[in-house]
């Protein structure tokens, strides 16, 4: 309309000079004839009409182009791109326990049997994955039919195709999948997603299910085994470190890898498991196990964060352990020493120093300190469930400052959060954590505040803490931001829909594939968990520092 107004203003003198019946002709090209009759006047308006039509069409085309190409605000919802890569084994063999010293790594078949016991081993070198692993499938060519099929297990140690025998074969973990009935001369598959977290060596074992036997082509056979790995560019996309952290913790089924009801290779439950990196490679985990009132603290090692090999007992009459590596190549263990009525001792904090990894693996501490009750009265109440915020040695334990969190309970009172400092491994001071308590109070939590752990994630400092908001038995995990002093309840979702979560730990470390991962452990109480999920849950999620900016890895 503005363009039309300018046209009328430009032609106003001409319109005023023309006879009334000829005014419409002023828009005709100057070299055109200008008929004076009414019919001619109608014809003379046609060029103006056509210009309007052309202008409207051009404007419509511009609007269509703009709608298709205009910049849009990101909603954080991105369609995941999936890709699949297949790998052949770099080593495979079967071993027979009736010939424990015989090497069978170069034959063209893999075998399984229950009597005599025969199992097979495979190793794949996974490399070049373009994203996060969403599914991994083992494919085998079956030569004979088998009613029950085989089971696939994780392998806990290294082995070599050129030398493996039943006598030196590494131990295997729980089965991750079973094939069911197997047909002859056909491909069979097993879901081995739990064994593949990213680039790196993937080792697995095949065992017979029930009675019977199976025979499958090895990499020397006509149909090589195959590991098909599907990946996705799906990332943890969020506007802030807190939102990214929340997303990683809440959605357990979307984790890079997970394991419910975790236990070590001796069958012990791994309650309140805390995981750190090992200086020798792999991971260290401390946990407690045993009947209520007789807990013991143990140490185990892992190569994949999910399967654990027992190494040492670190404490007895104690629970809720946590661990930190120190700058002197030693380690610090903190746990909750159990009460002892005969000795008139109440639950209290205990600290142990191990001078080296060898000392830790053999369970030999060189220093122990038990913190006296500071917030709870001596001989009454309780102080326990420690977490280690920091441990600074300047340069040794005699010149150290250790910052911890814990909870305390007054006689006939409820559990409340505290913080403490152990100086020079000999002097203890503590105070109530009023900021955390106020933040939880704002969320409807009044007392009943228990175990926690802290992590620095994408530049932010956060705590995970368990608490009960109501009178029921259910525990919930809250995310606390140390910088804003705000807390928010986490709505954790598991595969089967368990409803109570406690004893959270969180660790930021390098995962089995070499990528940064966030490792979370939670305890799922038997009474409120689905039967297959009760116990200690371990899961981890790969991430990139660029996620904070909402970009993909």
Query: Which residues are 419's β-sheet partners?
Result: 405, 431
Of the listed ranges 69-83, 97-111, 313-327, 400-414, the least confidently predicted one is: 69-83
How many angstroms separate the CA atoms of 269 and 116, rounded?
A: 31
- Return the CATH architecture of domain 82-232: Sandwich (2.60)
Fold entry, domain 241-549: Tachylectin-2; Chain A (2.115.10)
Q: Which residue has the higher pLDDT, 399 or 513?
A: 399
**What residues contact residue 493 under an 8 Å CB cut-off, 6+ apart?**
250, 251, 252, 253
User: pLDDT tens-digit profile of 506-538?
Assistant: 999 888 877 788 999 999 988 888 888 999 999
Measured at the CA of 82, the angle between CA 80 and CA 84, to 5 degrees, comes to 165
The dihedral through the CA atoms of 360, 327, 393, 453 has a sign that is negative
Q: Which two tokens stand for residue 107?
A: 């034959």
Q: Assign 135 to helix, strand or coil.
A: strand
pLDDT tier at 55, thresholds 50, 70, 90: low
pLDDT at 236: 44
**What is residue 263's DSSP assignment?**
B
Tokens of 11: 């032609």
CA distance 274 to 530: 23
Gap between the Cα atoms of 126 and 200, Å rounded? 5
Structural domain spans, the chain: 82-232, 241-549
The average pLDDT across 379-384 equals 90
Coil/strand/helix, residue 526:
helix
* pLDDT (mean) for 543-553: 42
Q: What is the pLDDT of residues 192-243, one digit of tens each?
A: 988 887 777 889 999 999 989 999 999 999 999 999 998 875 544 445 888 8
Alpha carbon 365 to chain centroid distance?
32
pLDDT at site 238: 40
């Amino acid at each position: 309309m503005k363009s039309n107004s300018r046209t009328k203003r430009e032609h106003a003198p001409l319109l005023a000079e023309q006879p009334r019946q000829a005014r419409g002709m002023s828009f005709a090209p100057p070299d055109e004839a200008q008929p004076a009759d009414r019919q001619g006047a109608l014809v003379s308006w046609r060029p103006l009409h056509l210009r309007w039509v052309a202008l409207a069409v051009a404007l419509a085309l511009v609007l269509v182009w703009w709608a298709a190409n205009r910049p849009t605000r990101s909603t954080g919802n991105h369609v995941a791109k999936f890709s699949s890569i297949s790998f052949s084994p770099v080593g495979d063999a079967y071993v027979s326990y009736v010939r424990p010293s015989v090497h069978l790594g170069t034959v063209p078949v893999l075998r399984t049997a229950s009597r005599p016991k025969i199992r097979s081993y495979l190793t794949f070198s996974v490399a070049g994955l373009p994203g996060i692993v969403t599914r991994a499938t083992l494919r085998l060519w079956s030569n004979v039919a088998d009613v029950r099929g085989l089971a696939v297990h994780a392998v806990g140690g290294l082995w070599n195709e050129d030398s493996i025998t039943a006598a030196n074969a590494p131990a295997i973990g729980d089965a991750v999948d079973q094939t069911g009935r197997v047909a002859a001369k056909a491909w069979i598959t097993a879901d081995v997603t739990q064994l593949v977290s990213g680039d790196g060596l993937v080792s697995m074992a095949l065992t017979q299910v029930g009675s019977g036997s199976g025979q499958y082509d090895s990499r020397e056979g006509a149909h090589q085994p195959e590991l098909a790995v599907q990946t996705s560019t799906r990332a943890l996309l969020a506007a802030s470190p807190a939102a990214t952290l929340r997303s990683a913790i809440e959605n357990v089924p979307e984790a890079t890898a997970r394991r419910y009801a975790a236990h070590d290779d001796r069958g012990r439950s791994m309650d309140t498991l805390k995981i750190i990196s090992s200086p020798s490679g792999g991971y260290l985990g401390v946990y407690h196990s045993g009947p209520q009132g007789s807990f013991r603290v143990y140490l185990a090692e892992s190569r994949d964060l999910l399967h654990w090999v027992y190494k040492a007992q670190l404490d007895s009459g104690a629970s809720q352990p946590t661990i930190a590596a120190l700058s002197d190549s030693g380690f610090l263990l903190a746990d909750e020493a159990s009460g002892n009525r005969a000795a008139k001792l109440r639950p209290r904090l205990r600290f142990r120093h191990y001078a080296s990894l060898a000392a830790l693996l053999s369970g030999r501490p060189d220093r122990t300190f038990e913190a006296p009750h500071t917030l709870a009265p001596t001989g009454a109440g309780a102080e326990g469930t420690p977490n280690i915020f920091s441990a600074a040695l300047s340069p040794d334990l005699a010149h150290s400052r250790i910052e911890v969190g814990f909870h305390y309970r007054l006689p006939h009172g409820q559990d409340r959060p505290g913080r403490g400092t152990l100086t020079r491994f000999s002097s203890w001071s503590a105070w109530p954590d009023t900021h955390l308590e106020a933040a939880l109070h704002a969320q409807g939590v009044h007392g009943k505040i228990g175990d926690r752990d802290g992590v620095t994630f994408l530049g932010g400092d956060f705590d995970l803490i368990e608490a009960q908001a109501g009178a029921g038995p259910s525990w919930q995990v809250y995310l606390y931001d140390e910088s804003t002093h705000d807390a928010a309840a986490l709505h954790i979702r598991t595969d089967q829909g368990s409803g109570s979560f406690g004893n959270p730990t969180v660790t930021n470390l390098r995962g089995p594939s070499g990528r940064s991962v966030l490792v979370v452990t939670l305890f799922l109480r038997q009474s409120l968990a689905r039967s297959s999920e009760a116990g200690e849950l371990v899961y981890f999620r790969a991430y990139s520092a660029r996620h904070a900016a909402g970009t993909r890895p």
